[in-house]
Amino acid sequence: MKKITFNFQLIIVFLFAVFQLQAQTENLPESILKKEQELASGNLDVEQTLKNYGGLMDEYQTRDMEKTRYYLREAVAYARKNKPDAEPRFFALMANIYADFNERDSAGIYFDKAMKLVESINDEWEKTAIYDLAGSYYSGFLNDMEKGIDAYLKALDINEKLTTRLIAEKKDIADNLRFNVRIRMNIALTYRMMLNVEKALEGLLEAKNIINENRNIEFYNEYLLDGNIGNHYFLFDEYEKAFPYVKNFYETAVAKGNLIHTANALISLSTYYLNTDNLKQALIHAKEALEIAEKLQMPVYINRAISMVTNAYIEMKDYKSALYYAELGLEKTEDNNYHGLQHMYSLLIIIYAGMNDIENVKKYIIESDQIYYKITDENMHNAVQEMQVKYDVQQKELEIVTQQAKIKQQRTRQFIYIGGLIAAGLMLTMLFLIVRQRNRRNRELAETNATKDKFFSIISHDLKNPAFSQRNDIRNLFENCHKWDADTISDYCRNLLKSANDNAELLQTLLSWAQTQTGRMTYQPILYDLVASLKSGISIIQNMANEKEVVLDLQMPTPALITGDEKMLETVVRNLLVNAIKYTEKGGTVTLRVEPTAAGKHTVTVSDTGTGMTPEQKQSLFRLADQPSQRGTAGEAGVGLGLIICKEFLKKHESELHVESEEGKGSRFWFEVM
């Protein structure tokens, strides 16, 4: 049976449910009443009072926003009187609450208040809480994953230093370890949203290891961590590894009476059974999840459950039932949820193809095509906006330099009147420096402008042409699908999906380059085995070489321990190998060699027997503005960004990319890392 891929968006929604929504149970009003009664009694200590205020803000946010604002005012007033360092924590919490409702202005006001106060406080616990909330705000609301990771890492660093100090003082560290686990789960969420699923799973397993090493401490949310680990194993198709975690998540959620987490767990169980050929159990769990989601009236969970029910019926070939639920899901998907709509359209295309209803297959292919262009336009707009911001910043910097020059000139005139010839000499010196600085800034701005123009050219040509090609392929499918059977249509759709994935990979390359140019790519070095890392991702490159009938020769010792950013170096080697295969003829050889040096470093070399380069081509390798559009030996497209990204990543490792090449005799690229 065809495996059902666990949707990445479902993982993101699941993790946000864990950290941005409080458990909604049938006893929740009683929990609110209990907190309010405890506050009214006046018998709580400062920490418990502040905790109750925060809990009431969180629980009231989906019921009564006025009450939420009331408890914010009460919390801030109490904190100012009893613990001033706690005040910014409540501002940060309120910012995240407003962010959940997409009230950008209010969220921004409270977040700015929190961050202006955070550096002035001395309480390490409060700083940890604020940076944790800041991480959620950056990654979950502003979609700035790099800043989110930075904030979480600050929180983790402060937490671990505080834990070390408390151990030395022989004090209780239970709350610190609980918070450590929470932060690691949040970091995993952010890596997941950055599509770095390996790093996300690694973080979750580290959090689980902390729990296993401290079984004398009760970790209240361990079952949520189990659910996350299980769902991440789904992404690697390791369903048997996932099952014990998902099962524990479900059983604990039921025992706690938590309906949201029960619905999540049921969807996870349905995913397990769907991919292990137990379709009956998959359908039972998905329908039970749908029943709970409808009871909670939460659209996100309703759509997830409907999707699972539809997939189960499709696998059963009960297309009539599948159609009912797919149409129900389409009805409940918001018009601006492009990815959700595209997912439902793809299900409808499969259903109607199975029913041999060609007219409706045509209809939803057209609908899917239109949504695809909306997604493409949105992604293209984001990429262009990223470059435009950088260009605007350069212009503003030049204006500042010019203004500063004018101010200096005015001051210089005053010195001329007072100091005579000496001041005149100083003025000439300053003017010379100002002119040189302005000329330098003008050159930088000209280069940035040329780079921006080239970037726009890449977007308009290399993104537009594949998009038009896909449109033509879809038109061909539309015009001929009445002649084809369901299997042919399915194969053609898979080819279209591969084409769309290639276009998405190109867009990701453009966005990665834009991130390096705007300083949003964070360098995170660790000690790891370079060879083991490269081998784990070599299968895709091997497939490319096999398809082109190029020999891929791997000469790598094991182990090769280095310190560096694993993701960045993996990207560098992958780009070098892809380029080498691209410019090597059928029957040629591409070699990857990793070898130690006498200085304790490792040299990584990628060489090929391909077309090589002229001296002029070598000169323009690392300048985007001068980068010509070159096709590979089999007509492969390219935009010239790969080597530029390699150079930027290696610069962060204090390394340099060296090139040797002669036209017609192949090329050799190498670099050193320690």
Same domain, 553 and 571: yes
In a shared domain, residues 560 and 460? no
CA 87 to chain centre: 31
Q: Does 536 lie in the same domain as 488?
A: no
pLDDT of residue 629: 56
Looking at the structure, tell me whether residues 541 and 508 fall in a common domain. no
* Phi/psi-derived region of residue 408, left when phi > 0, alpha when psi is between -120 and 50, beta in every other case: alpha
- Residue 609 contacts by C-beta under 8 Å, 6 or more apart in sequence? 584, 585, 588, 589, 590, 666
Mean pLDDT along residues 534-550: 83
Residue 177 to residue 172: CA distance in whole angstroms: 10
Whether residues 508 and 600 fall in one domain: no
User: What CATH number does the domain containing 633 carry?
Assistant: 3.30.565.10
Q: Where does the pLDDT of residue 447 fall: very low under 50, low under 70, confident under 90, or very high at 90 and above? A: low
Using pLDDT thresholds of 50, 70 and 90, give the confidence band for residue 288: very high
246, part of any domain: no
Q: Is the peptide bond before 559 cis (omega within 30 degrees of 0)?
A: yes
- The two tokens of residue 584 are 């090597």
Q: How far apart are CA 481 and CA 356, in angstroms?
A: 10
Q: What is the largest CA-CA distance in the chain?
A: 96
Given this model, what pLDDT does residue 299 score? Answer: 77
Average pLDDT of the segment spanning 354-362: 86
pLDDT-wise least confident of 45-54, 436-445, 449-458, 508-517 = 449-458
Residue 395 CA to residue 389 CA, distance in Å, equals: 10
Q: Please tell me whether residues 584 and 450 are part of one structural domain.
A: no
Q: pLDDT of 469-516, one tens digit each?
A: 677 777 777 777 777 777 787 777 767 765 665 665 566 666 666 666
Q: Which of 6-10, 97-101, 219-223, 550-554 has the lowest mean pLDDT?
A: 6-10
Say what the pLDDT of residue 279 is: 92
Per-residue model confidence (pLDDT) at position 639: 57
pLDDT-based confidence at residue 54 (cuts at 50, 70, 90):
confident
CA distance 428 to 555: 61
Last residue of one domain, picked from the residues 454, 485, 517: 517
Query: Mind listing the pLDDT tens digit for each residue in 613-629?
Result: 888 888 877 766 555 55
In whole angstroms, what is the distance from residue 562 CA to residue 528 CA? 6
Structural domain includes residue 275: no
Query: Angle, nearest 10°, between helix axes 299-315 and 279-296?
Result: 160
Mean pLDDT value of segment 260-269: 89
Q: Would you say residue 411 has pLDDT above 70?
A: no
Nearest to 299 by CA among 63, 658, 13, 501: 13
Residue at 485 is within a domain: yes
Cβ atoms of residues 368 and 470 within 8 Å: no
Q: Concatenated DSSP letters for 230-250?
A: HHHHHHTT-HHHHHHHHHHHH
The residue ranking higher by pLDDT, 174 or 503, is 174
Q: Are residues 506 and 550 in the same domain?
A: no
Could you tell me the pLDDT band of residue 243, with boundaries at 50, 70 and 90?
very high
Same domain, 482 and 538: no
Query: Which has more confidence, 496 or 405?
Result: 496
Q: Any idea which of 18-32, 213-227, 316-330, 443-457 has the lowest mean pLDDT? A: 18-32
Percent of residues, the chain, with pLDDT higher than 90: 17
* Predicted confidence band of residue 605 (pLDDT cuts 50, 70, 90): very high
Q: 260: part of which helix (H) or strand (E)? A: helix 259-274
CA 361/CA 327 separation, integer angstroms: 14
Please state the rounded mean pLDDT for residues 11-24: 40
Assess whether 626 and 605 both reside in one domain. yes
According to the model, what pLDDT value does residue 542 have? 86
CB 298 within 8 A of CB 335: no
Q: Is 365 helix (H, G, I), strand (E, B) or coil?
A: helix
CB 91 within 8 A of CB 110: yes
Domain boundary among 491, 517, 543: 517
**Could you give the count of Cα atoms lying within 13 Å of 25 in the half-sphere of its Cβ?**
14
The answer on 572 and 510 residing in a single domain is: no
Q: What is the pLDDT of residue 609?
A: 94
Domain boundary among 484, 517, 550: 517
Straight-line distance from the first to the last Cα atom of the chain, in angstroms, rounded to the nearest whole number: 47
Number of domains the chain is built from:
2
What is the average per-residue pLDDT within 427-448?
Answer: 69
Tell whether 503 and 404 lie within a shared domain.
yes
Q: Within its chain, how far is the Cα of 351 from the centroid?
A: 32
The distance of Cα 103 from the centroid of its chain, to the nearest Å, equals: 23
Q: Which domain holds residue 582?
A: 526-673
347 close to 326: Cβ distance less than 8 angstroms:
yes
Q: Judge if pTM exceeds 0.75.
A: no
Position 68 in a domain: no
Mean pLDDT, to the nearest integer, of 425-441? 70
Q: If 0-12 CB within 10 Å is exposed, 13-18 middle and 19+ buried, where does residue 121 land?
A: middle
Angstrom distance (rounded) from CA 306 to CA 318 = 15
Give a yes or no: residue 577 inside a domain: yes
Residue 13 in any domain: the answer is no
Residues 552 and 647 in one domain: yes
